[in-house]
C-alpha cells in the first residue's frame, strides 16, 4: 500500500488499477483499514476500478462530511493525466457536454438535448506531449460525472488508450488515465494541502516526457 500522507483525520494513498475505490470486499477502504489497523476509513471521491492514482480517504465521519462539502462547493481540485488516441483539434480547451447514463449497459454517453436524465459535464485540458499517434494531456475536472473524462474525449474520436469500453483499439495496458494531483483544505485545520504522484514507469507513460513542473 503506497501511503503518501496520514494523520488522525485523513489518509492519502495511491489506488492501484483493478481495485475499487468504494467500501466493498477488496476495495481501498478495506485494504487501508487492514494496513493501518484502524476501524474507520471512508471514501469521499471515486476512481473507476480500472483507473489508478492519488486518492484521499477520511478517517472519521466528520472529516468525510467536510471533504464531501468541499467537493460539492468546487473547492476540491482533481487533476489527471490521460493518454488519448489521436491529437485534439486544440492543444488546450474546455469541454462541456450533457451526459446521460445507460444503467443497464453500464455506459455513459453524450446526449443531444437536455432532459431530466442528463447532467452537465465540464473539464479543461492542455497538451503535455505527443508520441506515435498518442497525446498526453493534463485534465482538470470541473464536475464529477461517471466515466466523464473517458466519455468526453471518446465522443470527439479521442478515446483514452486502453479504454476498449469507449472505442479504443486493443492495447497491452489498462486505461491510460492517472489521478496525479489533489488539492483541498484539511478537514480539521483548514490548511491548504496538495498531493501529487507521477504515473508509473511503465507503458504507455514511458513514451512521454513529463515536465518537472507537472
pLDDT tens-digit readout, 15-62? 999 999 999 999 999 999 999 999 999 999 999 999 999 999 999 999
User: Which percentage of the chain shows pLDDT scores above 70?
Assistant: 100
48 is catalytic: yes
> How high is the mean pLDDT of the chain?
95
Residue 153: other Cβ atoms inside 10 A: 28
Q: Answer whether 82's CB lies under 8 Å from 51's CB.
A: no
pLDDT over threshold 90, residue 213: no
Q: Answer whether 161's CB lies under 8 Å from 176's CB.
A: yes
- pLDDT reported for residue 188: 97
What is the average pLDDT across 152-177? 93
- Identify which of 214, 192, 65 has the alpha carbon closest to the alpha carbon of residue 136: 214
- Identify which of 93, 83, 59 has the alpha carbon closest to the alpha carbon of residue 174: 83
What is the average pLDDT across 98-119? 93
Where in 26-176 does DSSP place strands (E)? 42-43, 52-58, 77-85, 92-102, 107-110, 119-131, 134-141
Record the pTM.
Answer: 0.94
pLDDT band at 212 (very low <50, low <70, confident <90, very high): confident
Q: Which three cell numbers stand for residue 174?
A: 489498462
Q: Which three cell numbers stand for residue 125?
A: 485540458
- pLDDT reported for residue 54: 98
H or E segment and range at residue 156:
none
Region of poorest pLDDT, from 26-30, 103-107, 155-159: 103-107
- pLDDT reported for residue 100: 96
Question: Which of 2, 7, 23, 48 is the catalytic position?
Answer: 48
- pLDDT reported for residue 179: 97
- pLDDT reported for residue 130: 97
- pLDDT reported for residue 37: 96
- pLDDT reported for residue 171: 86
- pLDDT reported for residue 169: 82
pLDDT over threshold 80, residue 211: no
| Residue 185 Cα distances to 45, 192, 201, angstroms | 15, 4, 30
Q: Which three cell numbers stand for residue 201?
A: 514507469
Query: Parallel, antiparallel, or unpaired: how do β-strands 177-185 and 77-85 relate?
Result: antiparallel
Amino acid at each position: 500500500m503506497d501511503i503518501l500522507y496520514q494523520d488522525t483525520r485523513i489518509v492519502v494513498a495511491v489506488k492501484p488499477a483493478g481495485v475499487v475505490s468504494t467500501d466493498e470486499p477488496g476495495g481501498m477502504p478495506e485494504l487501508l483499514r487492514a494496513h493501518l489497523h484502524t476501524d474507520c476509513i471512508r471514501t469521499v471521491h471515486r476512481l473507476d476500478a480500472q483507473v489508478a492514482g492519488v486518492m484521499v480517504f477520511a478517517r472519521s465521519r466528520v472529516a468525510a462530511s467536510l471533504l464531501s462539502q468541499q467537493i460539492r462547493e468546487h473547492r476540491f481540485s482533481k487533476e489527471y493525466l490521460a493518454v488519448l488516441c489521436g491529437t485534439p483539434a486544440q492543444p488546450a480547451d474546455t469541454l462541456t457536454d450533457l451526459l446521460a447514463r445507460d444503467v443497464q449497459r453500464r455506459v455513459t454517453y453524450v446526449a443531444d438535448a437536455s432532459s431530466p436524465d442528463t447532467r452537465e459535464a465540464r473539464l479543461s485540458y492542455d497538451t503535455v506531449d505527443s508520441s506515435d499517434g498518442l497525446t498526453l494531456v493534463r485534465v482538470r475536472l470541473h464536475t464529477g460525472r461517471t466515466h466523464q473524462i473517458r466519455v468526453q474525449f471518446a465522443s470527439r474520436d479521442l478515446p483514452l488508450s486502453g479504454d476498449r469500453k469507449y472505442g479504443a483499439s486493443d492495447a497491452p495496458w489498462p486505461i491510460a488515465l492517472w489521478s496525479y494531483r489533489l488539492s483541498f483544505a484539511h478537514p480539521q485545520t483548514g490548511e491548504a494541502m496538495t498531493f501529487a504522484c507521477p504515473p508509473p514507469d511503465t507503458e504507455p507513460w514511458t513514451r512521454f516526457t513529463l515536465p518537472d513542473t507537472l
